[in-house]
Chains A and B, each alone.
Chain A
Amino acid sequence: MKDSFILGDKEFSSRFILGSGKFDPSLIDACIKEANTQIITLALRRVGESRVENILNYIPKNITILPNTSGARNADEAVRIARLSRELGCGDFIKLEVIRDSKYLFPDNNETLKATETLAKEGFVVLAYMYPDLNFARDLVNAGVASVMPLASPIGSNQGLVMKRMIEILVSEIKTPIIVDAGIGRPSQACEAMEMGCAAVMANTAIATSSDIVMMARAFKNAIVAGREGYLAGFGSVKSKASASSPLTGFLRD
């Protein structure tokens, strides 16, 4: 059975997205080869970082680059970075990150919404990093967002699904793909996010800070596939009491 998800005009079979915050060529290589990653985020502020190194050279042509607006502190800056990304030939995809907090790097929902409204009208495929909030997610959808990307816990923290209940609510109420972005630290947490019905998981630090990047990339792939298949198969209900698989009353006649 084909199981893919769509963003803009593209279809993806891999539900593991690699963040590039802790950019490392070996990390990119491992995630493409071992985790079948098809989407890699790219901070625009890292493009052309020097005349001898170009981050783009490490990303194969068949990979979809998801430029992000890392460094934007308000909607205006995010919009300008997105337009710059398009001018540089990075396409219409844009991962909105509007952050006014250097300590926890929490997204600013209000500014994110303003930027989404502008960019969606200009034809961008907007994936919005957000603090999980149902009303805000609805506003994003109304503004034309292609994907809602709630944080699971503070970025880079490896704390996992601290915001689990809020994300579950988003998954049940929002029809637009929900991609968990930030804080996923273990394959089991990625698996759990997929079991909840999220469309995809983004991770970076969990793999980048592992002592075996290759094996961890593979573990994430397997966990995401397992979680997705579990979600599609449907889970049995959880009961507080034992439920015998061979009923004691099966001998009764009509």
Chain B
Amino acid sequence: MAYLEGMQDIGSEIMDEVLAARAEFDYAKFSKFDVLKAIEKDELSVRDFGALLSPAAAEFIEDMAQIAQAKTRAKFGNNINIFTPLYISNHCDNHCVYCGFSLHNNIKRAKLDESQLRVELENIKKTNLEEILILTGESQRSSVEYIGKSCKIAREYFKVIGVEIYPLNVDEYAYLHECGVDYVNVYQETYNLEKYKKIHLQGTKRVFPYRFNAQERALMGGMRGVCFAALLGLDDFRKDAFATGLHAHLISQKYPHAEIGLSCPRLRPIINNSRINPRDVHEKELLQVIMAYRLFMPFASITVSTRERAGFRDNAIKIAATKLSAGVSVGIGGHSEKTGDDQFEIDDIRSVDEVCKSVKDSGFYPLMSEYIYV
């Protein structure tokens, strides 16, 4: 779908390159030899990255784990970043068939006012966290000004603020950066254009290229970091993981100063549709994706969310993951008095203390913040 009025077109060339590469990516053609060659390299090419995502790499999952672990420790040491998401509104103007916040899903809607927001922030602060990710549904009922004001208030309590909201123009990202936001998550969901059209049936989210270029606009607006993800299970997960990694890689090349993050969400059940599942993306496939990301981009932070069970997350940090959410609620008011329903079902319901204890018990250091605002 073409850009709508008010959507800034920055004329980036990256989307065409990613989509063309995704279309050509035939993972069935990779052999064991291709995988072994890729594993041995310090600097992986895009083709090597593709090999690690192929079915041929499945039997080398232990070899990949050993190398991923070494690369992760060399770059990040024993530090594991801990944060929590804070949903401030679940109003949404989009109809996305897989999402609990979808316009046509009959759930309880809410939006935090300033006093409710402060109660939430104060309660989260008691857990000793220093990093918070502000999330909204994608609705104009959560205006940029409302989000900015919320972030400014959040900065009174926390050192690090990220946002996961609808895509914005450069000047709007610059405004949020002034409000204290330093990183932006925008997830493309799937990089298959045809599939994208079929599952995004209403709302501005249908404009694929505007969403695709959001990270670049965020960096142009002064943000320090950007995070990428496909929602694994929506479409062919190997192709989507390949496109996600390539998207992040090309942004990293164009903006070398950018701090790159990758997330690996799998589909989860939602209110009124408990049958939604990640299909062929089992834990083994998910770990393969995570490790391929690590080998291709040793410098990128990798988040494993509470969509995954505690046991998986506890072991993923030993291999490649560097960032965990904790004490999570995906509804509105979940840290005080819940007023709005959840976006999806979470699996790991542990508190911040429990997650930190588990991190420490594994010999790691739960890091609350390593940002400095200047």
Contacts and interface: CB of A to CB of B under 8 A. Distances in A.
Contact of B367 (A49, A71, A73, A205): A49
A100 B374 contact: no
A73 B372 CA distance: 11
B73 interface: yes
B374 A49 contact: no
Contact of B365 (A21, A23, A48, A84): A23
Interface stretch (B23-31, B101-109, B164-172, B250-258): B250-258
B75 A45 contact: no
Given A43-B370, A102-B299, A49 B256 contact: no
A179 interface: no
A87 to B, nearest CB: 12
Interface in B164-216: none
B163 interface: no
Given A100-B256, A101-B257, A102-B256, A22 B371 contact: no
A interface, over-half SS: loop
A186 to B, nearest CB: 14
Given A43-B370, A158-B74, A23 B259 contact: no
Interface stretch (B58-66, B76-84, B262-270): B76-84
B77 A73 contact: no
A51 B127 CA distance: 10
B128 interface: yes
Contact of A80 (B78, B252, B299, B374): B374
Interface residues of B, number: 28
A52 B76 CA distance: 21
Contact of A102 (B74, B259, B368): B259
A215 to B, nearest CB: 18
Contacts of A46: 370
Contacts of A43: 370
Label chain B's interface by main secondary structure: loop
A45 B78 contact: no
B8 interface: no
Nearest to A105: B299
A72 B374 contact: yes
A100 B128 contact: no
A156 interface: yes
A208 interface: yes
Contact of B371 (A45, A52, A205): A45
A57 to B, nearest CB: 14
Interface in A124-180: 156-158
A3 interface: no
* B76, B77, B258 interface centre (most CB from chain A within 10 Å): B77
Interface string B343-374: 00000000000000000000001011111101
A103 B256 CA distance: 7
Interface in A74-130: 76-77, 80-81, 84, 99-103, 105
Nearest to A53: B368
Given A49-B368, A102-B258, A209 B74 contact: yes
Contacts of B259: 102
A43 B371 CA distance: 10
A24 B252 contact: no
Contacts of B76: 22
A157 B128 CA distance: 33
Nearest to B260: A102
A209 B73 CA distance: 7
Contacts of B252: 102-103
A44 interface: yes
Contacts of B75: 156
A50 B368 contact: yes
Given A22-B76, A22-B78, A102 B374 contact: no
Contacts of A24: 77-78, 365
A238 to B, nearest CB: 31
Contact of A21 (B70, B77, B129, B299): B77
For the complex of A and B, list the 10 residue pairs with the smallest distance between their C-beta atoms, beginning with the closest. A22-B77, A50-B368, A45-B372, A80-B374, A100-B257, A101-B256, A77-B374, A49-B369, A71-B372, A156-B74
14 contacts: A24-B78, A43-B370, A45-B372, A48-B159, A49-B130, A49-B368, A49-B370, A50-B128, A53-B368, A71-B374, A73-B257, A156-B74, A157-B74, A205-B77
Given A21-B77, A102-B260, A157-B74, 18 more contacts: A22-B77, A23-B77, A43-B370, A45-B369, A45-B372, A48-B369, A50-B129, A50-B368, A71-B372, A72-B374, A81-B374, A99-B257, A100-B257, A102-B259, A103-B252, A158-B74, A208-B73, A209-B74
Interface of B: 70, 73-79, 128-130, 159, 252, 256-260, 297, 299, 365, 367-372, 374
Interface of A: 21-24, 43-46, 48-53, 71-73, 76-77, 80-81, 84, 99-103, 105, 156-158, 205, 208-209
